[in-house]
Structure 1
Amino acid sequence: MPAISRVDASRLARWWRNIDRVTLSCVGILIAFGYILMLAASPAVAVRIGASREMFILKQVVFLAFSGMTVLAVSTLSTKGVKRLGLIGGVIALAATALTLVHGVEIKGARRWIALPLMSVQPSEFLKPCFAVVTAWLLAERRRHRLFGRVPFPGLPIALGCFAVILLLLKSQPDIGMLSVVTMVFMTQLFVDGLPLLFVGLGVGAMVGAFGAAFVAFPHVRSRVERFLHPNIGDHYQIDTALRAFGNGGLLGRGPGEGRVKDLLPDAHADFVFAVAGEEYGLLICLGIIAVFLVIVLRTLLKLMREDDPFIITACTGLVAGFGLQAFINMGSTLHLIPTKGMTLPLISYGGSSAISVALTLGMVLALTRHRVTASSISQRFEEEEFLDGQRWNDQHWRARQDLA
């Protein structure tokens, strides 16, 4: 982008000066990786299912282009605009998630998608960022406002009620993986907001108990856990193939287009795209992808250490926690570090709902972490300038006295 004058007061200029350009660049790198790996992985998958070689590529080009525009558009919003977007988007996503139970498309025993003319939409993907923003808003209002001048605003009970509704909907689909991510994001926000450690421990215990209940109640959860713990139980074809792909790739990879895992795995373009990267581009590129995710998460958390707005702190913590957790689950299951879970690698795996949801998440993070000029910062700047002017005058006065002596 060409240099912008410091005196340029246009909205674009102010956005460019105040945006976190390092995080924005990392988002661009992830989108670029998404294009490259889709070119590598999707043609073989499309041919195997009898479709055109370019089907997945053309769709993902549109998805990623729209995702990039979404990041840029959402990053221009004010704090109030992010709150409104989170509330409106959350209501729509919640209603659409409920609609999947009635008119959803059933795939592999789960109703998570709504069929549209050109694509299928997974509404629960949009619950993650919107619920994180709404939860942060409710928790912040609890500290700022009182009802009738005495009673604190019931932000925490309302947030717990919203979470209970989401829990029931995701359990009914069922989508235990998405429910786990939303639960951990919610617990992280409560911890950052100052929830006593006793209740944090009770929450962790409840999560462990819920996982045990899911292990007993849902056969697909039990199957995945047992296959992870016992190598001799069940089918390990996908994991074994993915691990062989990493071994074949070595340090520098076999080269673009030379991988074989995309010809063998049915989800090579989606859940196992990280294995395609490992085989064709090697360990170094995989470490580079991990580093990009780490930069986005850690840089956001470090910026929050200088923030004093409780809404921004809680919202951004929830947003980057969900983003980082999704990336970890995908890469961890591909590397057989955790039980397999059908979750996409943000902005890299194929999927329109996932890509746009992640773009919404990162756009909100960029919008909330933009540098904002406040009265205190202006006052501090004037004080610093006055101090420097006084220091210069003292130096000049001392030199003049030395010359006279």
Structure 2
Amino acid sequence: MTTIHRTDTSLFGQWWWTVDRWTVFALAAIIGVGAVMLLAASPPVAERIGLEPLHFVKRQMLLLPVAIAVVFFVSLQPPRVIRRLALALFSVSVILLALTFVMGAEIKGARRWISLPGMSIQPSEFVKPTFAVLTAWLLAQGKASARFPGGLISVTAFAVIVAMLLKQPDLGMAVVVGAVWFVQIFLAGLPILLVVVLGALGLTGLFGAYMLLPHVTSRINRFLDPAAGDSYQIDRSIEAFANGGLFGRGPGEGTIKNWLPDAHADFVFAVAGEELGLIACLFIVMLFAVVVVRSVLRVTSEQSLFVILAAAGLATQLGLQAIVNMASSLHLMPTKGMTLPFISYGGSSMLALALGTGMLLALTRRRFGGIEP
């Protein structure tokens, strides 16, 4: 077995001794669980829609090495490169997001995807991590120089992004982006009165979505009263957790996935509940908690406001996305089509998450006793 010494000056050696290894181990475990669950959950879904059993497995496994390479490459970069990379990719993502209204493929009544030869891209997935880093830079620059309108630019960019997401419509994505942005402006030292005002505006916006968007109204009504509409998927999801018990039926031995339409994506946590059991599900929750908590702890002594806000935003985004997916599967909140990071099937989601976690690892790296410059 090869040992990596602290004196190792190779690229990997420098990375290994400066990155947060607990976070790396947790991410590797999450990716491993994702591979197992994809093999278990996706074949029945593929067969139901007339594809070969391993169709989704092959597509995801082709992208997995690319995602791992993205995590490693991006995590090598210093914060200044992360900032520039986020700005460039955010600009491209916003352009692609706007193009969804012109050339986007309509799926289940929403235009969120752009079809390219051999693949489809969901631009909003890439907007999430890049906007978090961009907002961190704008707020940090606004604090550093009173003449730089960082806060105003951030508010404007946020309003434009949310408006575009709601037009698709994708309320869930808009809520995640809004929650991350709110956390960042709160940490940046926003006056408490404005925090209350913005919180009230957010709640007002959610109420407006409930009143004006039929699909939101339906989902919330079904959450409050299952008899108010079709609750087939969530009923099967709860049944899967009940069948799994403490230790599960074993990988590949579940049956609910044979009837659960989105077993490989939005409801993969339910498949994990049936096949791996409660203990394993709690372990998955712990893995995400390790990534979020370790990332936050790594920047508690950081002097750069940009690094603090960017790392906090990216960690919040990852944790919130995981919470939304798992809570939806457990009927703790209205169902929302959002992937479980690195576990659900989804190419755009995996690559965007790889970008986000790579930036998170880069921002929390240490060198010579301090955060890397």
Query: Fold conserved (TM > 0.5)?
Result: yes
Query: 2:230 aligned to 230, 235, 246, which one?
Result: 235
Question: Scaled by the length of structure 1, what TM-score is found?
Answer: 0.90
In structure 1, the partner of 2:255 is 260
CA–CA distance in structure 1, aligned partners of residues 369 and 273 of structure 2? 46
Deviation at 1:64, TM superposition (A): 2.1
Question: Mapping of 1:206-285 within 5 angstroms?
Answer: 206-285=201-280
CA–CA distance in structure 1, aligned partners of residues 191 and 346 of structure 2? 39
In structure 2, the partner of 1:401 is none
CA–CA distance in structure 2, aligned partners of residues 63 and 363 of structure 1? 16
1:65-124 Cα distance to aligned partner (Å, 9 max, x none):
221111111100111110011000100000000000100000111100001122211000
1:179 partner amino acid: A
In structure 2, the partner of 1:17 is 17
CA–CA distance in structure 2, aligned partners of residues 276 and 368 of structure 1? 34
Deviation at 1:330, TM superposition (A): 0.3
In structure 1, the partner of 2:306 is 311
Given that 1:41 and 1:273 are in contact with CA atoms closer than 8 Å, whether structure 2 keeps it comes out as yes
Given that 1:46 and 1:53 are in contact with CA atoms closer than 8 Å, whether structure 2 keeps it comes out as yes
In structure 2, the partner of 1:58 is 58
Given that 1:307 and 1:313 are in contact with CA atoms closer than 8 Å, whether structure 2 keeps it comes out as yes
In structure 1, the partner of 2:347 is 352
Question: Mapping of 1:2-401 within 5 angstroms?
Answer: 2-145=2-145, 151-373=146-368
Deviation at 1:15, TM superposition (A): 1.4
Any stretches of 5+ residues in structure 2 without a counterpart?
none
1:33 partner amino acid: V
1:239-287 Cα distance to aligned partner (Å, 9 max, x none):
1111011000001111121101110111000000000000011111101
Given that 2:365 and 2:371 are in contact with CA atoms closer than 8 Å, whether structure 1 keeps it comes out as no
Deviation at 1:167, TM superposition (A): 1.5
2:172 partner amino acid: G
SS at match of 2:228: coil
SS at match of 2:223: helix
1:173 partner amino acid: Q
Identity of aligned residues (%): 50
CA–CA distance in structure 2, aligned partners of residues 176 and 281 of structure 1? 31
Deviation at 1:376, TM superposition (A): 11
CA–CA distance in structure 1, aligned partners of residues 371 and 248 of structure 2? 52
1:318 partner amino acid: G
In structure 2, the partner of 1:388 is none
CA–CA distance in structure 2, aligned partners of residues 58 and 218 of structure 1? 37
CA–CA distance in structure 2, aligned partners of residues 132 and 111 of structure 1? 23
Deviation at 1:161, TM superposition (A): 1.1
Distance 1:199 1:285, change over 3 A: same
1:210 partner amino acid: G
Question: Scaled by the length of structure 2, what TM-score is found?
Answer: 0.97
Distance 1:374 1:284, change over 3 A: closer
Given that 2:364 and 2:371 are in contact with CA atoms closer than 8 Å, whether structure 1 keeps it comes out as no
Given that 1:105 and 1:114 are in contact with CA atoms closer than 8 Å, whether structure 2 keeps it comes out as yes
1:351-393 Cα distance to aligned partner (Å, 9 max, x none):
001111111111001000000338999xxxxxxxxxxxxxxxx
CA–CA distance in structure 1, aligned partners of residues 158 and 211 of structure 2? 23
SS at match of 2:266: coil
Deviation at 1:42, TM superposition (A): 0.5
1:357 partner amino acid: A
CA–CA distance in structure 1, aligned partners of residues 163 and 371 of structure 2? 45
Given that 2:302 and 2:371 are in contact with CA atoms closer than 8 Å, whether structure 1 keeps it comes out as no
Given that 1:143 and 1:152 are in contact with CA atoms closer than 8 Å, whether structure 2 keeps it comes out as no
Given that 1:64 and 1:347 are in contact with CA atoms closer than 8 Å, whether structure 2 keeps it comes out as no
1:182-238 Cα distance to aligned partner (Å, 9 max, x none):
001000000010111111111110011000110111100000000000122101111
1:122-155 Cα distance to aligned partner (Å, 9 max, x none):
000000100000010111111223xxxxx52111
Any stretches of 5+ residues in structure 1 without a counterpart?
146-150, 378-405
SS at match of 1:232: helix
In structure 2, the partner of 1:398 is none
Deviation at 1:172, TM superposition (A): 1.2
Distance 1:113 1:308, change over 3 A: same
- The structure with the larger Rg is 1
Given that 1:86 and 1:133 are in contact with CA atoms closer than 8 Å, whether structure 2 keeps it comes out as yes
